[in-house]
Amino acid sequence: YIGAKQVREVLARQQPEVRRALELAYFGGLPVSEISELLGMPAPPLRAAMRAALLELGALGRKGQEEDA
């Protein structure tokens, strides 16, 4: 389980464009190709930055599960 505070902390460490991209992807349902056009960023580095943020969140979730076990 990842708490809202932990999610906010991970997002706060990201560049503003990456935070916005994650919002557009997960709350707006937009694909990376559209997000990259909206933000004026090339898709490959944007996709990589989004993936890194998601991996960080996933690591927090796994850490939380290990602590609960």
pLDDT tens for residues 2-35? 788 888 888 899 999 999 999 999 999 999 999 9
* Average pLDDT of span 44-48: 97
The model's pLDDT over 31-41, given as tens digits with 9 standing for 90+, comes to 999 999 999 99
Query: What separation, in Å, do the N-terminal and C-terminal C-alpha atoms of the chain show?
Result: 12
Q: What is the DSSP letter of 14?
A: S
What tokens were used for 27?
A: 């709350």
pLDDT given at position 25:
96
- Whether 43 and 36 have beta carbons less than 8 Å apart is answered as yes
Burial 6-44 (b: 16+ CB within 10 A, else e): beeebeeebeebbbbbbebbeeeebebeebbeebebeee
